[in-house]
């Protein structure tokens, strides 16, 4: 026990969680906390918008596997975090958000900068707490980190009324977290494993479909062991990208709305689909009834509520992905009689070849070519973040990922503006590797003000703006489904991204050839200052393949390249 103020207790509790980085922006209701931080070794990175603080914490968490921390003042500071918290919730990313709040006696009086952030964030956090006795602060912090990082990870918010930060109390840092309503479901049930194994042993054309759960539980080697044992090709969701090296012969690439030919065609032909650490989102399945109609589905997920939510599997294993994969492997390896998979493997090769053809693009500065070129320049452990829209889908399709945690993108919420602040968070987590944000001009404009953070705090990243002067994905839908009625999508080449970069004191360069692009990227990733590379591309470029919304995989449009 030690007597200290609530603000001091918060900072001490953060230190005890080994937090060395906090992304935030101060305000009236967090003054006492910032005063305590003033005396502390915890590095606070001053962001230029609270949304970016949440995204940076999220990027930090996804790159490092540790909990990311963000902080904002009451009212608008707290509500500005909301997009970032919702984003982390949808993609199961462990972040803890601290918000200032008006003093306890003023809560409910519509005081200046008061917002009901507990009410607002209830549906987008695993849990949230408002401090009512400041001696609870050490336990709340401990609980927040534990809940955020365990089970299916996700965001937790702790709201701190200003008087709770100021008053002193005896603080106990040794109390033990005990939450009786928290069901972790880590260990697989042997009978569930047995049912899954029985199906896998009978499979002739098995496909494995993996989501973010494999990365979260660090189960890539277990995944590959099982895939190689069964000779089962592996498709991934957007969150699962990187779970298997994409140059592996069994890697099929992304599945879903903008899935590869190889993933989407082979899932249709699977007789058993082993889905691991994923939630059958509509972007992954397309029309549910047309999604692998021939296959028996085995659903492995740590969240029991995901089983049967979107798709009813034939059998399921509710468990941690790594433990479930280990358990299945050790049974299969005992009972498995090697099957002739040559026919199945030749299908795999055939469809992969078709997909490779698409990477050649249309010539000129086509995104598939640019991304293929980028891959040649980046080291294998470089981290790539993306914005949302065409830039994201091109990156998912054409930038091969070789290691887990090196492809960071906003999947579930689809948040434009995520990639750049996430790249700052990832760079802080992994300062030794190059970090590149693949952006579109529309997305980058949503959070570009944090170029200021990057220069002031010395966080060098590379932003590649695939600039079609359009809200490109919306334009693509208008082109394909609304007879080219381009409604409110033209951005008309404003701003000049080179000048914008220079205004912030970072480097800006425009390139008009593949060679120029390669040179610019090579210089940028070696620089200790952030570089914005503006790459003008044709506004007519589409992302293909594409499964139209509500259609099924068999209706996939291959598009201009094939």
Contact between 308 and another protein per CB under 8 A:
yes
- Contact between residue 440 and residue 466 where contact means Cβ atoms under 8 Å apart: yes
Q: Which of 113, 173, 345, 354 is catalytic?
A: 113
Contact between 303 and another protein per CB under 8 A:
yes
Of 96-104, 173-181, 517-525, 538-546, which part binds another protein (CB under 8 A)? 173-181
- Contact between residue 37 and residue 11 where contact means Cβ atoms under 8 Å apart: yes
> What is the side-by-side order of every strand in the sheet holding 68-72?
43-46, 21-24, 68-72, 95-101, 156-161, 127-130
Please name the residues in contact with 180: beta carbons below 8 A apart, sequence gap of 6 or more.
Answer: none
Of 195-203, 306-314, 336-344, 422-430, which part binds another protein (CB under 8 A)? 306-314
Of 179-187, 206-214, 219-227, 342-350, which part binds another protein (CB under 8 A)? 179-187
| Nearest to another protein of 181, 363 (CB atom) | 181
- How many CA atoms, within 13 angstroms, populate the side-chain half-sphere of residue 521? 27
Q: Looking at residues 243 to 302 of the shown chain, list those that interact with another protein (rule: CB under 8 A).
A: none
Q: Least CB distance from residue 527 to another protein, whole Å? A: 45
| Nearest to another protein of 127, 546 (CB atom) | 127
Q: Looking at residues 106 to 135 of the shown chain, list those that interact with another protein (rule: CB under 8 A).
A: 118-119, 122-123, 126-127
Q: Is the dihedral of CA 221, 223, 224, 228 positive or negative?
A: positive
| Nearest to another protein of 159, 246 (CB atom) | 159
Q: Running DSSP on this structure, what letter comes out for residue 257?
A: T
* Catalytic (active site) residue 113: yes
148 vs 157: CA distance, rounded Å: 9
| Nearest to another protein of 1, 176 (CB atom) | 176
Among 3, 309, 526, 554, binds another protein (CB under 8 A): 309
Among 304, 452, 498, 557, binds another protein (CB under 8 A): 304
Q: Which of 4, 47, 278, 473 is catalytic?
A: 473
* Catalytic (active site) residue 246: no
* Catalytic (active site) residue 50: yes
Contact map string, positions 133 to 162, toward another protein, x by CB under 8 A: --------------x---------------
Residues in the chain: 562
Strands 383-386 and 531-536: unpaired
- Please work out the total of residues on this chain that contact another protein, with binding judged by CB under 8 A: 19
* Catalytic (active site) residue 507: no
Residue from 294, 8, 50 nearest 134 by CA: 8
Give ∠ CA 336-278-416 in degrees, rounded to 5: 145
Residue from 19, 401, 457, 43 nearest 245 by CA: 401
202 vs 293: CA distance, rounded Å: 17
Would you please indicate which residues are annotated as catalytic (active-site) residues?
50, 112-113, 162, 473
Chain contacts with another protein (rule: CB under 8 A):
118-119, 122-123, 126-127, 147, 179-183, 303-305, 307-309, 312
């Amino acid at each position: 026990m030690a007597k200290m103020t609530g603000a001091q207790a918060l900072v001490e509790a953060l230190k005890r969680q080994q937090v060395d980085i906090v992304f935030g922006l101060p305000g009236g209701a967090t003054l006492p906390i910032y005063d305590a931080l003033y005396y502390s070794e915890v590095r606070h990175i001053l962001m230029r918008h609270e949304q970016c603080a949440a995204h940076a914490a999220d990027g930090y968490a996804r790159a490092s596997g540790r909990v990311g921390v963000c902080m904002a003042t009451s009212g608008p500071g707290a509500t500005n975090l909301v997009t970032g918290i919702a984003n982390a919730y949808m993609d199961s990313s462990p972040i803890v958000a601290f918000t200032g709040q008006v003093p306890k006696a003023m809560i409910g009086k519509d005081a200046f900068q008061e917002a009901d952030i507990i009410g607002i964030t209830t549906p987008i956090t695993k849990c949230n707490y408002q401090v009512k006795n400041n001696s609870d602060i050490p336990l709340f912090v401990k609980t927040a980190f534990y809940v955020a990082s365990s089970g299916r990870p996700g965001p937790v918010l702790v709201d701190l009324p200003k008087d709770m930060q100021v008053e002193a109390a005896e603080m106990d840092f040794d109390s033990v977290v005990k939450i009786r309503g928290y069901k972790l479901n880590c260990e697989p049930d042997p009978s569930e494993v047995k049912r899954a194994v029985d199906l896998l042993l009978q499979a002739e054309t098995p496909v494995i479909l993996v989501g973010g759960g494999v990365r979260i539980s660090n189960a890539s080697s277990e995944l590959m062991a099982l895939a190689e044992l069964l000779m089962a090709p592996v498709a991934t969701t957007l969150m699962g990208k990187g779970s298997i090296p994409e140059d592996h012969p069994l890697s099929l690439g992304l599945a879903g709305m903008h899935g590869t030919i190889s993933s989407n065609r082979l899932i249709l032909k699977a007789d058993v689909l082993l889905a691991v650490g994923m939630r059958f989102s509509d972007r992954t399945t397309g029309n549910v009834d047309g999604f692998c109609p021939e296959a028996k589905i085995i659903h492995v997920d740590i969240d029991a509520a995901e089983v049967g939510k979107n798709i009813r599997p034939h059998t399921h294993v509710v468990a941690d992905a790594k433990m479930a994969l280990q358990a299945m492997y050790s049974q299969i390896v005992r009972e498995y009689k090697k099957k002739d998979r040559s026919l199945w493997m030749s299908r795999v090769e055939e469809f992969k070849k078709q997909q490779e053809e698409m990477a050649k693009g249309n010539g000129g500065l086509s995104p598939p070519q640019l991304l293929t070129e980028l891959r040649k320049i980046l080291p294998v452990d470089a981290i790539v973040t993306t914005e949302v829209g065409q830039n994201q889908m091109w990156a998912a399709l054409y930038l091969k990922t070789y290691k887990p945690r090196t492809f960071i993108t906003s999947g579930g919420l689809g948040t434009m503006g995520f990639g750049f602040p996430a790249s700052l968070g990832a760079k802080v987590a992994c300062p030794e590797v190059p970090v590149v944000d693949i952006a579109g001009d529309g997305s980058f404009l949503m959070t570009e003000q944090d170029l200021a953070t990057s220069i002031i705090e010395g966080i060098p990243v590379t932003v590649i703006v695939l600039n079609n002067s359009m809200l490109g994905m919306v334009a693509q839908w208008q082109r394909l489904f609304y007879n080219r009625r381009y409604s409110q999508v033209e951005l008309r080449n404003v701003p000049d991204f080179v000048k914008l970069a220079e205004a912030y004191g970072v480097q800006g360069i425009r390139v008009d050839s593949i060679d120029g692009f390669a040179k610019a990227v090579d210089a940028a990733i070696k620089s200790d200052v952030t570089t914005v590379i503006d790459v003008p591309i044709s506004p007519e470029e589409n992302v293909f393949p594409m499964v139209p919304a509500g259609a099924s995989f068999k209706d996939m449009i291959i598009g201009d390249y094939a």
